[in-house]
Amino acid sequence: MTGNRQQTFAVAVGGNTLHTPMKNPLNVPTKALADAIAEEWALANPLPVSRHPSPGKMPLTSLAYTAIDRIAGQQDAIAEVLLAYVDTDTLSYRSSGSQTLAKTQGEQWDPIVSWMSKTFGAIWQITTGIMPLEQPAAMHEAIAAHLRKQDHFRLSALCVLASLFSSLALALAVLEKRANAKDAFALSRLEEESQAQAWGRDAQADARARKMQEEIMAAAHFLRLLEPA
C-alpha cells in the first residue's frame, strides 16, 4: 500500500496496484482500510488479481468499489435515496397485534428514537400498525444535512446498513457509535424473533438472517477502518 499526497492509500497485492471494476484506482482514505482490503485479497488466494470478488467473499473490497465507482460525485443523490427510509423506518411502526411485542419495541427502540430526536432537533414520530406516517420536515432537513457531510465511503456503508436494518435511524446510530452493529441488528429483528418464538424457527429464515448479520458486521467494520489512526 502506498500513500499519495491526497492522504489516500492505494491497495497493492503481489506487487500489483488494484483497480475497481470501472478501472478507477482502488485508493482508500486510511492505511487501516487499505491493509484490511489487501488482507482480504491475500486470504482469497488463489483468486487472480484480475478478477473482481463477489460481495459475500470480500465485503470490504466490495464496499470500497461501490464508494468509488457508484457514489463518488453522487453524494447528494445518494443522500436523497437514504432519506426515503425516514418515513418508512422500522423503529416508527409498533405492533398492533401483540401487546408484548409492542412493549418490547417501546423499551428497546425508544432510546434510539429519543437519540434521533435530540440529535436532529425534531420529535421522531411513531405509530401503531402499518399506516404510513411522515416525519417532521425539520427532521428530514437535519438528516439530509448530516448525510451530505458524509464522504462516499461512509455513504457506501450506510446504504448497506439502512437497507438491511430497514432503518436509517439504526444505521446512523451505528455510524455515530450510539449502538454497535450486533445490537442494532437484534433491534431490527424484534418482530421476526417474536414470530419465531411463537411459531417455531425456520431454518431458511435463520440462514438468511445469519447472512444479513455477516453483511452488517462487515459494513460496521468498514466504518471503523475509516477512522483516523
Instruction: Give the Cα separation of 11 and 15 in Å (integer).
Output: 10
pLDDT tens sequence across 160-211 = 999 999 999 999 999 999 999 999 999 999 999 998 888 888 889 889 999 9
Q: Is the pLDDT of residue 158 over 60?
A: yes
Instruction: Give the Cα separation of 9 and 210 in Å (integer).
Output: 32
Q: How confident is the model at residue 51 (pLDDT cuts 50, 70, 90)?
A: low
Task: Please give the grid coordinates belonging to residue 40.
Answer: 482480504
Contacts (Cβ under 8 Å, ≥6 apart) of 2: 9, 10, 12
Average pLDDT over residues 39-55: 70
Neighbours of 11 (CB within 10 A): 24
Which residue blocks in the chain are alpha helix, DSSP H? 31-43, 59-66, 75-83, 99-120, 137-148, 152-165, 168-175, 181-188, 190-199, 203-225
pLDDT tens sequence across 89-124 = 999 999 999 999 999 999 999 999 999 999 999 999
Q: Is the pLDDT of residue 75 over 80?
A: yes
Q: What percent of the chain has pLDDT over 90?
A: 79
4 vs 227, higher pLDDT: 227
pLDDT at 5: 45
Sequence ranges of the domains in the chain = 2-69, 75-225
Alpha carbon distance, N-terminus to C-terminus of the chain: 16
Q: Which CATH number fits domain 75-225: 1.10.3720.10, 1.10.3580.10, 2.60.40.3470, 3.90.320.10?
A: 1.10.3580.10
DSSP secondary-structure letter at 88? G
pLDDT at 48: 59
